Amino acid sequence: MAMEALIKLLFILVASFFVLNCSSQGGDEDFYLTARQKMVKEDIQKRGIDDPRLLDAMLKVERHLFVPEDYRHLAYEDRPLPIGEGQTISQPYIVALMTYHLHIKPDDRVLEIGTGSGYQAAVLAELAKEVYSIEIIEELAQRAQESLKKLGYSNVWVKCGDGFYGWKEHGPYDAIIVTCAAPKVPKHLIEQLDEGGRMILPLGDDPFYQTLTLLTKKEGRIEKRRVTGVVFVPMTGEIEREKR
């Protein structure tokens, strides 16, 4: 009899462990979804970003899956977060703002310089036909590739290399986004921008302030427009060597 009661108790304990475990996982997903909805409404839509395709993409892409576990609870705060190797994932509003100015259409081919976590690439992949992204740090390129693959993105290609040279084989691009700060516009990127194409990048030498700049190629000429002030990690590689 005592044995029977013990078995019953054990059964109840195991069953309640599974129930609690499953519901807490569902709870996490609900927590992240609510936080994401709030982020899109409060930090993006209310600040003037009104493109419905972009808002849908920001609502769909799970930013918490692109940040290290220790920072997941902060994933939907409007701030950059560390992703390792001294680099950061950009603030959600800035991701939305840069993407907004690129006016991505479903047939577009996009080039990104600075894959980082792969989050911006995922947002672009929701909007464009093909996304090519270059990351100079091997470890980050690999990790981003794995995250994007796990989430089922089959229209993003990541390579490790110096984005200064662009990725000529797949160009020209309808849109180019540079997510590290450059002292000047890398000339290869201008060459790889298609007629009518848009490029957005943080321009400037100051590590604490750069100008987010939008370039448009019209009849072979480049039109330049200031968007706002931003702070990005610097572009490394060839562009740094050129400065010396």
- For residues 171 and 204, give the distance between their C-alpha atoms in angstroms, rounded to a whole number: 26
- Is 179 a binder of ligand SAH (CB under 6 A)? yes
- Is 210 a binder of ligand SAH (CB under 6 A)? no
- Is 153 a binder of ligand SAH (CB under 6 A)? no
Q: Comparing C-alpha atoms, which of 98, 101, 163 is closest to residue 135?
A: 163
- Is 147 a binder of ligand SAH (CB under 6 A)? no
- For residues 225 and 209, give the distance between their C-alpha atoms in angstroms, rounded to a whole number: 17
- Is 163 a binder of ligand SAH (CB under 6 A)? yes
- For residues 174 and 120, give the distance between their C-alpha atoms in angstroms, rounded to a whole number: 17
Binding piece for ligand SAH, criterion CB under 6 A, among 2-10, 128-136, 198-206, 214-222: 128-136
To the query of whether residue 147 is one of the catalytic residues in this protein, the response is: no
Given a contact cutoff of 8 angstroms between Cβ atoms, the answer to whether 121 and 148 are in contact is yes
The torsion angles phi and psi of 201, rounded to 5 degrees, stand at -160, 150
The count of other CB atoms within 10 Å of the CB of residue 105 is 12
Catalytic residue selected from 16, 24, 90, 133 = 90
98-117: which residues touch ligand SAH (CB under 6 A)? 113-114, 116-117
143 alpha-carbon distance from chain centroid: 13
35-64: which residues touch ligand SAH (CB under 6 A)? none
- Is 134 a binder of ligand SAH (CB under 6 A)? yes
Contacts with ligand SAH by CB under 6 A lie at 87-90, 113-114, 116-117, 119-120, 134-137, 140, 162-164, 179-180, 233, 235-237
Active site residues: 90
